[in-house]
Copies of this chain bind each other. A is one copy, B any other.
Amino acid sequence: MSSKITALDLPQPELGDATKAYFAKCEEKLGMVPNVLLAYAFDEKKLRAFTDTYNDLMLGESGLTKLEREMIAVAVSSINHCFYCLTAHGAAVRQLSGDPVLGELMVMNFRAADLSSRQRAMLEFAAKLTEEPAKIVEEDRQALRDAGFSDRDIWDIASTVAFFNMSNRVAAAVDMRPNAEYHKMAR
């Protein structure tokens, strides 16, 4: 926590016990506390709202696999050129897939990957929703159904795309720096 995590000078209040415990769990399970959590820690209410949203979205029950959710995270972040999210979630794709090249493909250009038609439909929807949300029409939802997704899956795809369009912008706005550990993971 000594080096600069964002470009902002924010108050750094003493962490509460729940947050300390949460961070200890991160250390234990991930070997680090992701910097995004440290960035939000200046206000524990904001931190809690962020982790609740994140954990439900990326780790909760869904018709999308965890890998698929991470693929969306990285494909969206690639369009938005988000250094923080590409680093952290690129590592996650490498790890969850056991396929380091897949992580690179998501970072660089998902259209160069050899994907199933299900996953291609998912990522093309993610790209359109990221680039021109105003142009999404019923045909776009139908294309997801035709690729085998349920309406609940569509909600989850939409929420994941939307969440990273948020996260990418917070990270860009405050110049959030990812933990160095991510770069070497699962190469």
What is the interface of chain A, defined by CB distance below 8 A to chain B?
Answer: 7-11, 42, 45-46, 48-50, 52-53, 56, 60, 78, 80-83, 86-87, 100-101, 104-105, 107-109, 111-112, 125, 129-130, 133-138, 141, 151-152, 154-155, 157-159, 161-163, 165-170, 172-175, 180, 183-184, 187
Contacts and interface: CB of A to CB of B under 8 A. Distances in A.
A58 to B, nearest CB: 12
A100 B162 contact: no
Given A11-B152, A83-B105, A174 B187 contact: no
B158 A174 contact: yes
25 contacts: A8-B154, A10-B152, A48-B52, A50-B53, A78-B81, A81-B108, A81-B134, A83-B104, A83-B109, A86-B109, A107-B107, A111-B134, A125-B173, A129-B173, A133-B172, A136-B175, A154-B173, A158-B169, A158-B170, A158-B174, A161-B169, A161-B173, A162-B173, A163-B166, A184-B187
Given A53-B53, A136-B175, A162-B166, 16 more contacts: A7-B138, A10-B155, A11-B152, A45-B56, A81-B134, A83-B109, A101-B183, A107-B108, A109-B134, A111-B137, A133-B173, A159-B170, A161-B173, A162-B169, A162-B170, A163-B166
A56 B159 CA distance: 19
Given A155-B10, A161-B169, A108 B80 contact: no
A130 B166 CA distance: 10
Contacts of A133: 80-82, 168-169, 172-173
A81 B104 contact: no
A91 B53 CA distance: 27
A165 B165 CA distance: 6
B105 A141 contact: no
